[in-house]
Amino acid sequence: GAVVSQHPSWVICKSGTSVKIECRSLDFQATTMFWYRQFPKQSLMLMATSNEGSKATYEQGVEKDKFLINHASLTLSTLTVTSAHPEDSSFYICSARDLEGRGFDTGELFFGEGSRLTVL
Amino acid sequence: QKEVEQNSGPLSVPEGAIASLNCTYSDRGSQSFFWYRQYSGKSPELIMFIYSNGDKEDGRFTAQLNKASQYVSLLIRDSQPSDSATYLCAVSRFNAGNNRKLIWGLGTSLAVNP
């Protein structure tokens, strides 16, 4: 199956610093990538949908200037949490769909392993 | 009312029994329905998707959809301890940018006891 790699798998940072999380599709070209956030014992919350070469579409309530998303190539999308604060501590997950449309229409979102962010 | 509702559990069943997981949704226009399994600290993995009313079987798993009653369920036959996880129900709809997105339930925690 299609592989999505996410890095780093966990990161600890100080309050006020910025953290970048990478999401790579290893064996397919990802036209669309989705960024989720999951707090403990909560459901996955979609933060934004990013399409290669265009601006990301953010969900209501998600600050565009705080969560910067770049999808510059068909195999890489990045999420940067700027000026992180303890309330940003969460499990961030990316997922992707490919050029043929696989990875969503049949529910087969190809998920990354997730990145656990802890802001001190 | 949450868009996708699940009983958080925990649901505890003995090994070999049938586990029944339920999910209700509020948007009557929803068309696609998915069940994912998520182990603690891991990303979700797809178990089944269903579009049409009725049952869909895949191995030990059966998804059931009733659009009139707006519920979707997942049955796990011959439950194994390795099935112990959180089961997430998801429903797809379009967002403001006309992209299809998934709306997730909180998940039901399942414990299969040896």
Q: What is the Cα–Cα distance from B12 to B3, expressed in whole angstroms?
A: 25
**Rounded mean pLDDT of B102-112?**
93
pLDDT at B63: 97
Distance from CA of A40 to the nearest CA of B (A): 10
| Statement: residue A94 has pLDDT above 90 | yes
Is-cis flag, bond preceding B14, omega within 30? no
* Res. B108 pLDDT band, cuts 50 70 90: very high
**Rounded mean pLDDT of A68-72?**
90
B91 burial level (CB within 10 Å; 0-12, 13-18, 19+): buried
Strand partners, B92: B32, B102
Are B42 and A45 an interchain contact pair (Cβ–Cβ within 8 Å)?
no
Are A57 and B45 an interchain contact pair (Cβ–Cβ within 8 Å)?
no
| Statement: residue B69 has pLDDT above 90 | yes
B2 vs B22, residue with greater confidence: B22
Task: Report yes or no: A117 and A11 within 8 Å, Cβ to Cβ.
Answer: yes
Residue in this structure with the two tokens 């966990």, named with its chain if needed: A10
| Statement: residue A11 has pLDDT above 70 | yes
Q: Any CB–CB contact under 8 A between A42 and chain B?
A: yes
Q: Which of A96, A117, A104 is nearest to A38 (CA)?
A: A117
Are A108 and B46 an interchain contact pair (Cβ–Cβ within 8 Å)?
yes
Say what percent of chain B tops pLDDT 90.
72
Q: Which residues of B touch A42 (CB under 8 A)?
A: 106
Are A112 and B43 an interchain contact pair (Cβ–Cβ within 8 Å)?
yes
A114 vs A29, residue with greater confidence: A114
Buried b (16+ CB within 10 A) or exposed e, A35-62: bbbbeeeebbbbbbbbbbeeebbbbeeb
pLDDT at A104: 54
* Lowest-confidence pick of A25-34, A99-108, B7-16, B43-52: A99-108
Residue in this structure with the two tokens 């659009």, named with its chain if needed: B67
Comparing alpha-carbon positions, the chain A residue that sits nearest to B33 is A107
* Residue partners of A61: CB distance under 8 A and separation at least 6: none
**Rounded mean pLDDT of A63-71?**
94
